[in-house]
Amino acid sequence: EVKVVESGGGLVRPGRSLRLSCAASGFTFDDYAMHWVRQAPGKGLEWVSGISWNSGDIAYADSVEGRFTISRDNARNSLSLQMDSLRVEDTALYYCAKGYAAAGTVYFDSWGQGTLVTVSS
């Protein structure tokens, strides 16, 4: 069974940092790109960042470029998101999602339950 489990969320002051983690199991982790998608309270889905299977290709949404850093450890089947200079508008439930790439497109075929990040003074 494919499973991804996020951790690391919490309450943090604006301008501070937080590191999210995602533990994956049930599939060959280093065969797939992985992504972070967030959802602000009562709002829609927003893609945050993605990383290819070998970390050779990394992309970010404009809203987090320069502040967030995605990384992965294939030996540990884990994905991370280092979030610096956090803003109130970064408050959201952060999902780890397994990406499936085919025919020049990517969709997300497995999602975790999310970890909540609250940025507030």
Partner 1 sequence: SYDLTQPPSMSVSPGQTASITCSGDMLGDKYVSWYQQKPGQSPLVVIYQDNRRPSGIPERFSGSNSGNTATLTISGTQPMDEADYYCQAWDRRTAVFGGGTKLTVL
Give the interface with partner 1 as residue ranges (CB under 8 A): 35, 37, 44-47, 50, 57, 59, 61-62, 95, 100, 102-109, 111-114
3-state secondary structure of 108: strand
- Between residues 73 and 109, which has the closer beta carbon with respect to partner 1? 109
Record the tokens describing residue 115, joined without a space.
């970890």
Least Cβ distance, residue 105 to partner 1 (angstroms): 4
* C-alpha angle 105-108-109 in degrees, rounded to nearest 5: 120
Least Cβ distance, residue 25 to partner 1 (angstroms): 16
- Taking the CA of residue 40 as centre, how many other CA atoms within 13 Å lie in the half-sphere pointing to its CB? 9
Least Cβ distance, residue 85 to partner 1 (angstroms): 21
